[in-house]
Amino acid sequence: MRHSNTITFESEGLSRKQAPQLTFAF
């Protein structure tokens, strides 16, 4: 799992709570 992608999503404004599956998918 790449944690860098999760940080990118947060930077765009998407919280892990709103799209937890997306973060894990990427």
Residue 25 clears pLDDT 60, i.e. is over it: no
Residue 14 clears pLDDT 60, i.e. is over it: no
Question: Is there a contact between 8 and 16 (Cβ–Cβ < 8 Å)?
Answer: no
Instruction: Count how many domains the chain has.
Output: 1
For residue 14, what are the domain limits? 1-26
Question: Is there a contact between 6 and 14 (Cβ–Cβ < 8 Å)?
Answer: no
Residue 12 clears pLDDT 60, i.e. is over it: yes
Question: Is there a contact between 22 and 9 (Cβ–Cβ < 8 Å)?
Answer: yes
pLDDT mean over 21-26: 56
Name the token pair of 2.
């790449």
Residue 1 clears pLDDT 60, i.e. is over it: no
In terms of Cβ atoms closer than 10 Å to its own Cβ (0-12, 13-18, 19+), residue 7 is exposed
* Mean per-residue pLDDT of the chain: 58
Residue 8 clears pLDDT 60, i.e. is over it: yes
